[in-house]
Structure formats: structure tokens, C-alpha cells
Amino acid sequence: MDTVSLSGKELAAAINADTKARTAALAADGPAPQLALIVANDDPASSWYVNSLRKAAERLGIGCDTVDLGADASVDALRAELAARSADPATDAIMLQTPLPAGVTLDDVSSSITSTKDVDGVSPLSLGLLASNLDGFVPATSEAVVELLKHHEIPLAGRHIAVVGRSNIVGKPLAQLLLAENATVTVCHSRTTDLPSVTAATDIVVAAAGRIGLVTGKHIREGAIVIDVGTNEAPDGKIVGDVDADSVRDKAAALSPVPGGVGPVTTALLMRHVVTAAENARRA
């Protein structure tokens, strides 16, 4: 079967063109939108992502202030930084990069990000708004999956979709967004029994587990659509996804590449959220 590659590059470019114009309009009339990127890890895949965010912000004219609190930052230090940035009128948007230091969970600190600046939708308020179908910032990666599927004109209503991964920042919000699109959603996780038979019963499989090669040909049915959210560092230093592309390619109708699939769309949506937060702040 000829598997279509679900590239995110064209969609990301279209989103970025709009963001750049909105950024220029704001900067013509005041300061450029300003993102605070809070980091507290020494994870290589994370620093690859942080670098790509910094470059993306620069290309779009968005200010990006990276604050590295170190891989041993305490809950109190993280909360204090997030609260200070939430109160700082010069900061339009806050993003807290994961992973967090050992023993610190997102739930320990995310409530210190004010929801108006929570551009990656991680705070309990943002997640609650999403669960209630109310307006708020949605986690960019989850939104990117839905936008990528729509861009490639893949219908969602009535389709059975397996989401592999149930984290608060990817899997769970994605399940909510897909439900809002009238899909039938099965959420799988590390305790799912017999993952291949669960995912092979669905039309679309989204791999968001952070495990190299987890989803193989035996996890999908003939003609399935496969979206790879994984961003993992392989032993050779390359960034690879969760999908074993070689075995899946024999069966899938379409597969999103890593890199070049969900990733660029996630970054573009995050930057769009930064500009939206800045526009909202100017209007307030």
C-alpha cells in the first residue's frame, strides 16, 4: 500500500504567516509579544524542543525569555517563578517545559500559571475549561493532532480513534478534543491489556507514549491512519517517534512523519497562542 505522508510543514507555514502578521501589528503599536519559557531539566529531547521554540519565536518576531531553573529546582522555586511571570505585565505568555525535576509533577506547579498566559493549556483551570467545552488555551500538541488531521481532510466524526497515552498535556486533552469532533475515542496507556488488539480495532491510531517503536504493523489494521506524536532521542542522537515506520508503512493508508509531522504544527500553534494572549492583554 502507498502510505501517504501527513506532513505538518505546509499547515505550520500557513499558521506562521498569520502569526507573523499579527505579531507585526502588535509590535507596530507597542512591545512585541513576550513568551517566558521555563525549563527545569537537562533532558536532551527537551533541549532540542526548547531550541526549536526559541528559533521559531525569533523568526516570527516574538520575544522569548528562557529561564533555566536547573534540573534540581524545587516545587517552591518553580511556583515562585511561575507566579512572578503570571504577575509580570511584560510577560504575555508562559510555557513550562517538561520533564520536571525528579519528584515534581506538573500538578504540583501548574496552578501557579495564570490561565490568561497559559499558552500550553496545562493549568487545572485551562484543562477544566477544555473538559467543559469552554474557551481557553488548549495544549498545543493535542490541538496540533486535530489540526493536522483536518488539514489532510481526514474525517473525524463517527470514526473510532485510539489515543495511546493519557498524560494531562497530550493524551487526555487530545481525547477531549476528539470527542468534541464527534469521534469515538479509546484512550490506551501503560496498563492497557493487549494494546495491539485494542488499537487494531480502530480507524485512526495516535501514538503519544514516548516509547520508541511502540506502535508497529501489528497494532494497526489495513488502511488505518497513524499519527506519531512521539519525540524521543534515539541512541544515535536522532529524534524519532513512537511508531515503527517500516512495519506500519506496509499497512497504513497514511502516517505522520517524525520530524516534520505533528512537531511543526505544535510549535506554530503555541506561537499563535502567544500572540492571542498578547492581543487579549492589550485589549484588557
Residues contributing to the site for ligand NAD (CB under 6 A):
45, 98, 141, 164-167, 169-171, 188-190, 192, 195, 208-211, 214, 229-232, 262-263, 266
Residues 6+ apart with CB under 8 A from 60: 16, 19, 20, 23, 271
Nearest approach in angstroms of CB 161 to ligand NAD is 15
Whether a cis peptide bond, with omega within 30° of 0, leads into 235 is no
- What is the closest distance, in whole angstroms, from the C-beta atom of residue 98 to ligand NAD in the complex? 6
Query: Which of 33/171 has CB closer to ligand NAD?
Result: 171
User: What residues contact residue 32 under an 8 Å CB cut-off, 6+ apart?
Assistant: 23, 26, 61, 62, 63
- Decide whether 26 or 174 has the Cβ nearer to ligand NAD: 174
Which of 269, 275, 273, 277 shows the shortest CA–CA distance to 22? 275
Shortest Å distance, C-beta 14 to ligand NAD: 17
CA distance linking residue 58 with residue 62, whole number of Å: 6
CA atoms within 13 A on the CB side of 12: 23
| Grid coordinates of 174 | 487530545
Supply the minimum distance, in Å, between the C-beta of residue 191 and ligand NAD: 7
